[in-house]
Structure 1
């Protein structure tokens, strides 16, 4: 799954908002279904690891000058969640990046 969200913010502001709201990523999944951890290996990349029904889903967020790219490698077993996850990411990510 890959979602690109445009923004008109500075990269510093995007990073600040992403760090402040990283704990909300788990809410993109149905309640109680996912345990999500995040890390920042560098200032423009946040890694995401979700544990969902015994499956590990790796992903990440890349902060770019005018967009944020969110990727998650959904296993075949969880591919049925792709549509709802993309919709949640677009909605909540768009809200987070709104001026």
Structure 2
């Protein structure tokens, strides 16, 4: 099994505001990425558990939101591993935009 892709994004919003922004931002992000299909999205407290499909491959993981950072951990199948670095950069950039811009 491969090592999970992990992205940690610091913020100064507090847990509730960060979760609000992430929930709305994630819905928009999946609508704007045509190759990405969300199979499961379940919030339990401060944790989002999810399963997504891209290029016929399934990836699953979770997103934990705390008072000062959000941490995404996702396990990619071997075919999507080659896109891990690009995905990590894109996730970090999108997350920073969601958690630092004024709303």
The question of a shared fold, defined as TM-score above 0.5 by the shorter chain, is answered with yes
CA contact (8 A) 2:14 2:66 kept: no
Q: Secondary structure at the match of 1:9?
A: coil
CA contact (8 A) 1:22 1:38 kept: no
Runs of 4 or more above 6 Å deviation: none
1:39 aligns with 2:42: yes
1:52 and 1:80 map into 2 onto residues whose CA distance is 13
Give me the TM-score of the superposition, normalised by structure 2: 0.83
CA contact (8 A) 1:60 1:71 kept: yes
Unaligned stretches of 5+ in structure 1? none
CA contact (8 A) 1:5 1:69 kept: yes
Give me the TM-score of the superposition, normalised by structure 1: 0.86
Aligned to 1:66: 68
The 1:73–1:46 alpha-carbon spacing in structure 2 relative to 1, beyond 3 Å, is same
The 1:86–1:5 alpha-carbon spacing in structure 2 relative to 1, beyond 3 Å, is same
1:9 aligns with 2:9: no
Aligned to 1:23: 27
Q: Calculate the aligned-residue CA RMSD, in Å.
A: 1.8
